[in-house]
């Protein structure tokens, strides 16, 4: 029952905010199912990859992503996610979770600032492209290293640096998360096999199926919701999750 309820929240978070899937899935795998950290990271990446891919395909015609930004962030993001997942084998899982917590606080602060400001100076076209390529690589590395989809940083990057509206940023984020999470999961799965550890497929499938349904539903409602309020709620949501995980690690 708790697993299904968690899957409902995970799907709504991905559908409405374009992120939050692994932010919730990782604690669920760690604390609700009591999985080892490395195994929980791989499981959460697979759930997020499946949910974001299914949601992106279903809503492609209604909420088209910005393909330019998918290319700008996606290609370096795929490379970064592979390298991040590869480097994680040398790092203790506690370090990964502490880095995850710090990044959550940064993302929460950025989203609150964006939602509170009326006017924001945008960088030049050339500067935006260069910055976004670099950000794509960094966000991909975070995805692979920490074991999250990266949407909690992708959405702020698309709204702050690229100047996309919240709805377009969410749909673009979903495609990027699907790409990066798939590559990162593949690498983590290979590393787990080297350690002779295996995924528990039953909770992964339960969470994925339920989350896909609620993610699609939440994404369809997105255009009818107040975006500034959503941005602030999103930032508070990130801060609360960060406090919870940080407290557990301390």
Question: So what's the pLDDT on residue 58?
Answer: 80
Per the CB < 8 A criterion, the answer to whether 181 and 20 are in contact is: no
Question: So what's the pLDDT on residue 126?
Answer: 47
Per the CB < 8 A criterion, the answer to whether 158 and 69 are in contact is: yes
Q: Where are the alpha helices (DSSP H) in the chain?
A: 2-17, 21-27, 37-58, 67-87, 93-116, 125-142, 151-160, 166-194, 201-221, 227-249
What SS3 state is found at 189? Answer: helix
For every residue of 6-36, DSSP letters joined together read HHHHHHHHHHHHS--HHHHHHHIIIIIS---
CA 62 vs CA 112, 171, 192, 222: distances in Å: 27, 10, 38, 11
| Calpha distance 40→147 (Å, rounded) | 9
| Calpha distance 46→246 (Å, rounded) | 23
Determine the length of the chain: 250
Compute the average pLDDT of residues 152-177.
78
CA 53 vs CA 25, 57, 180, 212: distances in Å: 16, 6, 11, 9
Compute the average pLDDT of residues 134-158.
77
pLDDT tens digits for 28-50? 888 888 888 888 888 888 888 88
pLDDT > 60? residue 124: no
pLDDT > 80? residue 178: yes
What SS3 state is found at 198? Answer: coil
What SS3 state is found at 149? Answer: coil
Tell me the average pLDDT of the chain: 79
Question: So what's the pLDDT on residue 222?
Answer: 67
Per the CB < 8 A criterion, the answer to whether 133 and 74 are in contact is: no
Q: Which sequence spans correspond to the domains of the chain?
A: 2-249
Structure pTM?
Answer: 0.76
Q: Read off the tokens for 226.
A: 């107040």
What percent of the chain clears pLDDT 70, i.e. is strictly above it?
86
Other Cβ atoms within 10 Å of 236 Cβ, number: 13
Q: Which residue has the higher pLDDT, 18 or 54?
A: 54
Other Cβ atoms within 10 Å of 58 Cβ, number: 15
> Which pLDDT band, with edges at 50, 70 and 90, does 20 fall under?
low
pLDDT tens digits for 180-232? 888 888 888 888 888 788 888 888 898 888 888 888 887 777 667 776 777 67
Question: So what's the pLDDT on residue 22?
Answer: 67
Question: So what's the pLDDT on residue 24?
Answer: 76
| Calpha distance 224→208 (Å, rounded) | 25
Main-chain dihedrals φ then ψ at residue 36, nearest 5 degrees: -60, 150
Compute the average pLDDT of residues 240-248.
79
């Amino acid at each position: 029952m708790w697993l299904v309820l968690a899957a409902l929240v995970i799907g709504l978070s991905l559908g409405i905010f374009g992120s939050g899937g692994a932010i919730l899935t990782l604690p669920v795998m760690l604390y609700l199912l009591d999985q080892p950290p490395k195994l929980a990271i791989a499981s959460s990446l697979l759930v997020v990859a499946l949910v974001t891919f299914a949601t992106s395909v279903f809503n492609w015609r209604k909420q088209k992503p910005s393909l330019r930004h998918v290319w700008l962030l996606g290609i370096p993001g795929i490379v970064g996610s592979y390298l991040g997942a590869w480097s994680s084998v040398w790092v203790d899982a506690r370090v990964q979770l502490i880095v995850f917590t710090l990044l959550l606080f940064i993302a929460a602060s950025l989203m609150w600032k964006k939602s509170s400001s009326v006017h924001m100076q945008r960088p030049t076209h050339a500067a935006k492209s260069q910055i976004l390529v670099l950000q794509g690589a960094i966000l991909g590395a975070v995805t692979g290293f920490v074991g999250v989809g990266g949407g909690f940083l992708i959405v702020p990057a698309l709204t702050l640096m690229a100047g996309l509206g919240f709805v377009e940023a969410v749909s673009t984020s979903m495609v990027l998360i699907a790409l990066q999470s798939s590559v990162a999961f593949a690498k983590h799965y290979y590393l787990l096999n080297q350690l002779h550890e295996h995924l528990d497929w039953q909770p992964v499938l339960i969470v994925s199926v339920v989350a896909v349904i609620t993610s699609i539903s939440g994404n369809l409602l997105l255009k009818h919701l107040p975006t500034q309020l959503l941005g602030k709620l999103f930032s508070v949501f990130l801060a609360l999750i960060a406090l919870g995980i940080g407290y557990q690690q301390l």
